[in-house]
Structure formats: C-alpha cells, structure tokens
Amino acid sequence: MVDIHLEAIEHTHQLVGTNYASTGDIPKDHDIFYRCDECGDFVPSVPKRNLGCRCGNVFVDKDYWRLHIGDMSKMSVLRKNSTPRRTQSGGQRI
C-alpha cells in the first residue's frame, strides 16, 4: 500500500484519465500510478510485488500481471512528471 497525500501529488503528477471501460484500456508503465478515489491511496502500475490500496478497490497482481478494479468510477490514472536535470552555467548536465 502506498499512502501519499493528494496535495503533494498534484505538483508531481498529471491526470491521465478516469472512467475507463475495462482494465485492458488502462495504461501501465513505470511512471504511471493508480489512485483509488475511495480511500485516496496510490498504487504503482508496475509494482515490485502484489500491491493494492487499503480499501481493496485497486489491486495489481504482479504475479499474473492483472489489474483488479472494484469500482472503475472510483479510480484515476496519473503519470509522474519528469523532472528536468539541473545544468551548470555552461549548459552541461550535472
């Protein structure tokens, strides 16, 4: 379970979509997270182990690469914003 406050997420993630017709339509990638709108938990779409939100609405079964959503209307997909690398005054990446 990943518990992250919404205020912190709004600056680091952007909404990708809501109200998907089926779990097959929902994107997954290392920078994609599923937010359960019921309990507010965030679940990575590609977790290192089986993982779900605390209320059980969103669950990723890593062993079988399945996504379970209890109520699709209470789930949002977010993408982590990429952070630009800092550069030195000469334009070289640090």
Domain that holds residue 63: 6-21+28-80
Note the pLDDT of residue 89: 54
**Distance between CA atoms of 29 and 63, rounded to whole angstroms?**
16
Residue 91 maps to a domain: no
- Residues 40-64: pLDDT tens digits? 999 999 999 999 999 999 999 999 9
Residue 56 maps to a domain: yes
Instruction: Give CA 66 to chain center in angstroms.
Output: 15
Note the pLDDT of residue 8: 47
Residue 72 maps to a domain: yes
* The total number of structural domains that make up the chain: 1
Residue 63 maps to a domain: yes
Residue 32 maps to a domain: yes
Q: Where is average pLDDT lowest: 21-30, 60-69, 72-81, 83-92?
A: 83-92
Residue 74 maps to a domain: yes
**Distance between CA atoms of 92 and 39, rounded to whole angstroms?**
44
Residue 87 maps to a domain: no
Is pLDDT of 15 > 70? Answer: yes
Is pLDDT of 11 > 60? Answer: yes
- Residues 30-40: pLDDT tens digits? 999 999 999 99
